[in-house]
Amino acid sequence: MTQELVPVLSQADIHERVKGLAERISDDYGPTGLIILGVLKGAFVFLADLVREISIPVRIEFIQVASYGAGMETSGEVKLIKGLEINLENRHVLVVEDIIDSGLTIAYLLDHLEKMRPKSVRVCTLIDKKGRREVDIPIDYVGHSVDSGFLVGYGLDYNEKYRGLPGVYHLKQ
Ligand code: 5GP
Ligand code: MG
């Protein structure tokens, strides 16, 4: 089966969007800073670039969930693979995702985090894939919106492949 990679965001596009998001985040939170909570594995590249453009103090933590298995469709079931080692009570938390599709993963995470009584929880995603949203969740910071398509590169994988590509591509089969 042949697969084709169609460019969606170049390295320069991404850099522009990351800088814009980092500026807004820095302005919104101010000098008291925040906890950046990266969702593994997909968000690691975006998070690494984002934190280097943010000009206020950040603490970086990671959480890992899985829903996809090896395919391109969500299984609808979200599992926590790596939980948090710190207390979020009374802290400002920004969840950083690579891409939001059905919204099930982020809805599960927000529910999980709320139980820890943080002062605030917001969501930042590089890509908002709007076409197949199943749960309505507020997304505070969006780098780029698409309607549909399976995307890879810049942290995003297909069966653990393509994470290292510097841009984002639509994987067409
Ligand atoms: P959701 O629960 O919103 O349907 O999906 C969220 C997770 O599914 C994302 O964090 C990501 O890991 C994965 N995902 C959703 N859409 C895509 C996509 O187009 N490409 C890749 N590589 N992963 C995706
Ligand atoms: Mg993910």
3-state secondary structure the chain: CCCEEEEEECHHHHHHHHHHHHHHHHHHHHHHCEEEEEEECCCHHHHHHHHHHCCCCEEEEEEEEECCCCCCCCCCCCEEEECCCCCCCCCEEEEEEEEECCCHHHHHHHHHHHCCCCCEEEEEEEEEEHHHCCCCCCCCEEEEEECCCCEEECCECECCECCCCCCEEEEEC
pLDDT of 132 strictly over 80:
yes
What's the gap between Cα 70 and its chain centre?
A: 19
Distance CA 71, CA 117 (A): 34
- By alpha-carbon position, which residue is closest to atom 15 of ligand 1? 101
Which residues, judged by CB distance below 6 Å to any ligand atom, belong to the binding site of ligand 1?
Answer: 39, 42, 67-68, 74, 97-105, 129, 150-152, 156-158
Query: Which residue among 28, 101, 111, 136 is the active-site one?
Result: 101
101 catalytic? Reply is yes
Structure tokens at 79: 């599992």
Q: How far is CA 130 from CA 25, 34, 83, 100, 127, in A?
A: 22, 27, 27, 8, 9
User: Between these two residues, 120 and 74, which has the higher pLDDT value?
Assistant: 120
Of 3-12, 28-37, 66-75, 126-135, minimum mean pLDDT range: 66-75
Residue 70, pLDDT score: 57
Residue 127, pLDDT score: 98
The predicted model scores a pTM of 0.94
Q: How confident is the model at residue 34 (pLDDT cuts 50, 70, 90)?
A: very high
Mutational pocket test of ligand 1: of 98, 111, 132, 161, the residue with most ligand atoms within 8 Å of the beta carbon: 98
CB-CB contact of 118 with 101 (8 Å): no
Q: How confident is the model at residue 102 (pLDDT cuts 50, 70, 90)?
A: very high
In the chain, the domains with their CATH numbers are 4-172 (3.40.50.2020)
What is the whole-number distance in angstroms between the Cα of residue 31 and the centre of ligand 1?
Answer: 32
